[in-house]
């Protein structure tokens, strides 16, 4: 069987599942930033794995995600380092569309590569690795000798109003975010990393997502979330270097030194009460979000990218954008200028067996220079007053330090271990 037909069938499958077609993107300079290209087939495009920063952050957001958090089973530092070296080698191969080993090896041994991504191409795969607070703090004594190296910015997230967090889908020692234009390519990446780590790590929880819910470059069109609204209109763009340097990347003057050029990831599984939302009027939905549903324009505006005028008053003397509207409470202008880079995805996990309703929503992921001055104050404000809280509930959570990128020959986390 030739590669061409196999790729065509895979793209047809991906297109049937996606909310919209994937974007064709070309790599830029080894820094994990991509530019739009209408000429390239996204199945064939390779995103750079090596660079100053890890890929999958500033990279133009792909259409699919497979996220996994892992518990480390070993207490031996050298075994953890060996795992990270092995993961790095495998990730570099998979990012180019290559298997992690010869799929036609010894027929009497398990295949080195699980094989489900053969012929599918790289599909713009990026793999982004992070370290959770528990890697530095336990359980028990300082198992890897890393406690003194825990970043202050990796402080445990505080409880937020209305949270209903399930510990079985929260936290983790390590995380891997696999993003791609093809769902099977992303799944294969996590599957093979888990297989490589068997005996050293075990998957704690995982989330498959479809349909990006934000744009991460100026050239990307704004997508819609499962509530039917355009999402991420004013998101930070990965190709806006001054904003990235000021708000997303850990800077030269920040502590600890091993995190410089890295960032911090907050992941939240947010379940949407879709049935309740669908029974609400369009006017109420728009007042809840603060935007028109069809055009995406802020209330009081005409076009999606019109300035959000938070001071505008209607004929009745009330704010055109309600005081509890989501975009008002999330806006940098009402949060001291806080900017975070969002890379969220929609998800659906079937039917809730207790309620008989859809188990779907938003897998929210955001990157910032320091969660204490990024996600935490914004979410504290949203949790207290956001009108959207009537329709959503946060059920899973994770916080991870995402170390800097690496040069070829190095390994993920090398700056941590020295």
Least confident of 18-22, 74-78, 81-85: 18-22
Average confidence (pLDDT) over 4-15: 38
List the structure tokens of 190.
């996590």
Give the total number of structural domains in the chain.
1
Return the pLDDT at 138.
58
Q: State percent of the chain over pLDDT 90.
A: 83
* Residue 14 in this model has a pLDDT that exceeds 60: no
Going by pLDDT thresholds of 50, 70 and 90, the confidence category of residue 183 is very high
Average pLDDT (159-166) is 97
- Taking residues 46-63, report their average pLDDT: 98
Across 335-361, average pLDDT: 93
**CA of residue 196 relative to chain centroid, distance:** 23
Over residues 146-156, the pLDDT tens digits come to 999 999 999 99
pLDDT tens, position by position, 214-226: 999 999 999 999 9
Which stretches of 104-172 are assigned E, i.e. beta strand?
126-131
Give the per-residue pLDDT at 17.
34
Task: Check residue 251 and give its pLDDT.
Answer: 97
Averaged over 137-150, what is the pLDDT?
Answer: 85
User: Residue 355's closest CA among 288, 272, 285?
Assistant: 272
361 dihedral zone (left: phi>0; alpha: psi -120 to 50; beta): left
Rounded Cα–Cα distance for residues 87 and 129 (Å): 10
Domain that includes residue 345, residue range: 3-417
């Amino acid at each position: 069987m030739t590669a061409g037909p196999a790729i065509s069938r895979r793209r047809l499958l991906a297109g049937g599942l996606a909310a919209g077609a994937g974007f064709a993107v070309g790599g830029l300079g080894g820094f994990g930033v991509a530019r739009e290209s209408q000429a390239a087939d996204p199945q064939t495009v390779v995103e750079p794995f090596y660079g100053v920063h890890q890929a999958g952050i500033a990279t133009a957001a792909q259409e699919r995600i497979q996220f996994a958090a892992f518990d480390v089973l070993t207490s031996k530092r050298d075994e953890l380092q060996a795992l990270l070296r092995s993961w790095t080698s495998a990730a570099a191969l998979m990012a180019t569309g290559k298997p992690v080993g010869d799929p036609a090896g010894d027929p009497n041994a398990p295949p080195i590569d699980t094989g489900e991504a053969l012929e599918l191409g790289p599909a713009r795969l990026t793999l982004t690795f992070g370290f959770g607070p528990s890697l530095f703090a336990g359980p028990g004594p300082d198992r890897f000798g890393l406690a003194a190296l825990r970043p202050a910015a990796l402080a445990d997230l505080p409880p937020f109003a209305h949270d209903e967090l399930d510990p079985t889908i929260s936290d983790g020692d390590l995380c891997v975010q696999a993003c791609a234009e093809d769902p099977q390519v992303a799944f294969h990446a996590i599957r093979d990393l888990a297989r490589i780590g068997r005996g050293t790590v075990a998957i704690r929880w995982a989330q498959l997502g479809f349909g990006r819910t934000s744009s991460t470059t100026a050239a990307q069109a704004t997508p819609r979330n499962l509530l039917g609204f355009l999402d991420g209109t004013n998101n930070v763009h990965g190709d806006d270097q001054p904003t990235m340097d000021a708000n997303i990347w850990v800077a030269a003057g920040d502590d600890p030194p091993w995190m410089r050029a890295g960032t911090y990831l907050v992941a939240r599984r947010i379940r949407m009460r879709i049935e309740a939302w669908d029974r609400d009027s369009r006017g109420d939905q728009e007042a809840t979000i603060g935007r028109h549903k069809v055009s995406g324009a802020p209330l009081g505006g005409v076009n999606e990218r019109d300035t959000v005028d938070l001071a505008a008053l209607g004929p009745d003397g009330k704010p055109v954008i309600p005081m509890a509207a989501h975009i008002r409470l999330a806006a940098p202008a009402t949060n001291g200028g806080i900017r975070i880079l969002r890379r969220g995805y929609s998800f659906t996990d079937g039917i809730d067996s207790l309620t008989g309703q859809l188990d779907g929503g938003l897998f929210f992921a955001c990157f910032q220079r320091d969660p204490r001055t990024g996600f935490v104050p914004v979410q504290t404000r949203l949790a207290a007053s956001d009108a959207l809280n009537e329709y959503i509930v946060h059920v899973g959570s994770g916080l991870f330090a995402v170390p800097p990128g690496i040069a070829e020959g190095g390994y993920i986390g090398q700056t941590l271990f020295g």
